[in-house]
Amino acid sequence: MNKTILVTGSTDGIGKQTAFELAKLGNKLIIHGRNDIRCRNVTEWMKNESGNDNIEYLAADFFSLSAVRDMAAEIKNRFSSIDVLINNAGVYMNEFVITPDGFESTFAVNHLAPFLLTNLILDVIINSGSSRIINVSSIAHVRAKLEWDNLNAEKSFDPYYAYSLSKLANILFTNKLARLLETSSTTVNSLHPGVISTKLLHTGFNIEGAGLEEGASTPVYLADSDEVAGISGRYYVRSSETPAARICMDKSVQDRMWKLSSEMVEPDTK
């Protein structure tokens, strides 16, 4: 059965390739990007190249939580169900930049935005039946240094520290949400897409990586494969379940990250 799939950050890089591969399989795709023009151009390109006309888009800049809220409201207005949500949008910031909401931008875009969006549209996802939430994390999470008093770079800012912390937060969020949804038919999993040649990789690490097809392979697998039906709270690398850093399994750490994240994005999430 064809699915309705939303891929955030899908006007470029891994997200674009992931959406393209899923569109070629005949699914209904919802593209997301920062601005309307880019979204419209990618949507038209994807329709032409995939032969699938069932592609729409949503534009929202994840640097703004109010834009995330507006996007969630638009989703609820336009779509009765979301079978698969792939939280892929992400940034690597070499400089310390504060968002309009007062958050360090790496943490805001990579963690708070998908945390808020997922919670706001969770009823639409759950109502879809056997739905899936997929969070694109990174192997960088294993090197994260979790300092509760420096989540928002209150004490110091380091680009890699901020990035790795946000990717750890992605997995903590995944595992806590999987626990909350364990009695539902909605699954939640996270993944490392590989070291892939994207703008993010070039910005953060100035190196070349593997092709976009490889980067899209694991999120496509988690979105489409019957092999992972009913499996939740796991971390995948190269389409195989892989142990995440030990801290990701600590329920008290998951709970604390959820509580602090909820407080940051209030009043929308408790």
CA atoms within 13 A of residue 139's CA, in its CB half-sphere:
9
CB 85 within 8 A of CB 121: yes
Bridge partners of 7, per DSSP, are 31, 86
Catalytic annotation present for 163: yes
**Which residue, among 66, 242, 220, has the nearest Cα to 171 in the 3D structure?**
242
By CB atoms closer than 10 A (0-12, 13-18, 19+), residue 230 is: exposed
- Residue 128 CA to residue 41 CA, distance in Å, equals 29
28's tokens: 């209904």
What angle do the packed helices 113-120 and 159-180 form, to 10 degrees? Answer: 20
- Residue 204 CA to residue 202 CA, distance in Å, equals 6
Q: Which of 163, 221, 235, 236 is catalytic?
A: 163
Which residues touch 202 (CB under 8 Å, ≥6 apart)?
Answer: none
Q: Which amino acid is at 81?
A: S
DSSP state of 210: B
Which residues touch 25 (CB under 8 Å, ≥6 apart)?
Answer: 2, 224
- Residue 48 CA to residue 224 CA, distance in Å, equals 22
Active site residues: 163
